[in-house]
Structure 1
Amino acid sequence: MQWEEMLISAVSSFAITIILMPFIIGYFRTKQLGQTTREEGPTWHEVKTGTPTMGGVVFLISASATIIWTAIWQNAFTVSLGLLVFILMLYGLLGFLDDYIKLIKKRNLGLTSAQKFIGQVVGGALFYIVYRMQGLPSELNLFGLADVSLGWFYGLVIIFWLVGFSNAVNLTDGLDGLATGTSIIAYSAYAIIAFHQEQIDVLIFCLAVIGGLIGFLGFNKKPARIFMGDVGSLALGGGLAAVSVLLHQEWTLLLIGLIFIVETLSVILQVGSVKLRNKRVFKMAPIHHHFEMSGWSEWRIVITFWTIGLLMALIALWIVL
């Protein structure tokens, strides 16, 4: 398959996203369905109240439709590709239900944490069952140095990876363009690894997601005209974890997804410190809000985090390739 043929998935997903997004934004504004900012958040975020959310629906539909169409056209549809689309859509559905309950049903809490967690775990378990049925390796790649056979225990690792990074990207989605840009960088790194390994199915998946995200970034950069919502962030995190597993490069997500990990750890540290010591570690968590409260501009935080994400991705690629 030539580069031109492979890039069709990215270009198609990009085009569909930028065509559909204005209609979605217009619909949500007409129905007055917008995000409500957190009361404990920075006061300057109040201007974002009413901004349409659930924009992730568009790039998920664009990417999924493009993936299926490209795979069939190029005769590249595989079980692995089906697994990736399954995780993307299932985790996206969980996020959609959460967003839908908050916005349409006017129930601020959306799905409970337990409901989302159970859905994510079930999705991860189904992923692993099909993964094993295909005879794929149950070995954990330890930093490219050795493969450790874990047997069925590897299933727990996969579930932890999918659930953990799904929620990690969700926590990162707090500033205009932050999660979108870092996800573009992460998926681009895995697209290069997939190309190097000649896993065309995984490459098609990554390129389609990248195309959709680039199209979405034009509407999500500061000042954002729409947010991705849980429907987008939960799906992107789960998809990243699934890609790292199918490329047998799970450990690379510790570098490529470092921003997501730091955001998550900042929340864990904050909550733990408040409960155990009744003191805060950060001015506000996730950590991007800490920098906001410290006087950093939103653009400065986003660009800094993008840069760190890019550097980590380049280091991972240098090690792997």
Structure 2
Amino acid sequence: MLVLLFGWLAEYFSFFAVFQYLTLRGILGVLTALSLSLTMGPLMIRRLTELKIGQSIRDDGPQTHLVKAGTPTMGGALILLAIGVSTLLWGDLSNYYIWVTLFVTLGSGVVGGLDDYLKLKYQNSKGLSARWKYLGLSLIAFIGVTVLYVLAPTETETTLYIPVFKDAFFNMGIFFIPWAYLVIVGSSNAVNLTDGLDGLAIMPTILVAAGLGVFAYLSGNSVFAGYLGIPYIAGVGEMVIFCGTIFGAGLGFLWFNTYPAQVFMGDVGALALGAGLGIVAVIVRQEVVLAIMGGVFVMEAVSVILQVASFKMTGKRIFRMAPIHHHFELKGWAEPKVIVRFWIITIVLVLVGLATLKVR
């Protein structure tokens, strides 16, 4: 929105031309989203408390979590508000990647919000049935990736690239749609499964968003993309703005979500942020790198799959409890220790993901 305004003003006042630079708009996106989160956070927490929108806690989980019952939830709405407003302010609204990304992210947030609402209404942790939740997420993801496929100007946008191996790439054609769908829905649910401890999900989300932002910037620049041997995709640099708003909004939310949390993001935040990371990875053609940098999310999801499969086939559990962060809690790790160690793992994995830019 402001891009158009400053572009018009630049015709009369050269100073405003500086706002056309992607790096500056990315920084301003971060700062705007951060300011909105920090400013509106206390107001939202107060309002959620007044409305008695409190978290329901599983009674079969770690007993230390029972004291969290009643903590305001659905704080993810604050994150989405900050992301949406900041992206619309600093993004180039003529770029269809911006609109597809916002649609998938906010649409997934609506599904998560309905899930949170049902949990609150019936005062339990079940919420929306898995069938309807996945149907909603699938519909949003399918529409988003179909638009990307239809509007893709070249084969680059539908080609799967394998990091490290310079010549390992495969044009998926129509199979891009189911592949991208799986990436988005899988990422959405993986982040949701990770969101079980104070600040556990939001910090890895921030870090992965920052890493994807670097890929977006480089992939959107023909010189850098050619030098690094990564796919050049015209217009994809605008994803820097979106990734920056996730970073800023998430950092502001962490101020209130850090242990002991004053507010939880709920599914409205977790499902949306996971879908947001997934759609960005699809757009910049770095789905494999997303799996590397988001290794904590992958680990959490795989732990649940293995636990369920093992119990159904053998009647035995692999972990004391899944997702795996609860396993470590039940082994005696204090909650802050689990959280910070998972953060450290994510920092290392994001660095590994960024290293693939040069290792080819």
Question: Could you say whether these structures have the same fold, taking a TM-score greater than 0.5 normalized by the shorter chain as the test?
Answer: yes
Match of 2:28 in 1: 8
Question: Which one of 126, 133, 154 corresponds to residue 143 of structure 2?
Answer: 126
Match of 2:191 in 1: 169
Distance in 2 separating the partners of 1:201 and 1:3: 10
What amino acid is the match of 1:306? W
Does residue 140 (structure 1) correspond to residue 176 (structure 2)? The answer is: no
Cα distance change, pair 255–58 in 1 and its aligned pair in 2 (3 A): same
TM-score, length-scaled by structure 2? 0.85
Match of 2:119 in 1: 102
Does residue 272 (structure 1) correspond to residue 309 (structure 2)? The answer is: yes
Question: Which one of 202, 218, 228 corresponds to residue 196 of structure 1?
Answer: 218
> When the two structures are aligned, how many residues end up with a matched partner?
318
1:266-319 deviation digits (Å, cap 9, x = unpaired): 111111111111111011110000000011111111111111111011011011
Structure 1 unmatched runs, 5+: none
Between structure 1 and structure 2, the one with the greater Rg is 2
What amino acid is the match of 2:150? M
Match of 2:6 in 1: none
Does residue 158 (structure 1) correspond to residue 201 (structure 2)? The answer is: no
Alignment of 1:61-80 (within 5 A): 61-71=81-91, 75=92, 77-80=94-97
Distance in 1 separating the partners of 2:352 and 2:136: 34
| SS of residue matched to 2:178 | helix
Question: Which one of 28, 32, 55 corresponds to residue 35 of structure 1?
Answer: 55
Cα distance change, pair 292–245 in 1 and its aligned pair in 2 (3 A): same
TM-score, length-scaled by structure 1? 0.96
- Contact 2:307–2:318 (CA under 8 A) maintained in structure 1: yes
Cα distance change, pair 8–114 in 1 and its aligned pair in 2 (3 A): same
Shift of 1:142: 2.2
What amino acid is the match of 1:305? F
Distance in 1 separating the partners of 2:256 and 2:52: 18
- Contact 1:92–1:232 (CA under 8 A) maintained in structure 2: yes
- Larger deviation: 168-177 or 188-197? 188-197
Match of 1:186 in 2: 208
Match of 2:37 in 1: 17
What amino acid is the match of 2:28? I
Shift of 1:144: 4.8
Does residue 263 (structure 1) correspond to residue 292 (structure 2)? The answer is: no
Distance in 1 separating the partners of 2:125 and 2:58: 11
Distance in 2 separating the partners of 1:119 and 1:47: 32
Shift of 1:29: 1.4
Q: How large is the RMSD of aligned CA atoms in angstroms?
A: 1.4
1:99-139 deviation digits (Å, cap 9, x = unpaired): 11221464653211111111111112111221122125221
- Contact 1:165–1:237 (CA under 8 A) maintained in structure 2: yes
Structure 2 unmatched runs, 5+: 1-20, 221-235
Question: Which one of 213, 218, 221 corresponds to residue 255 of structure 2?
Answer: 218
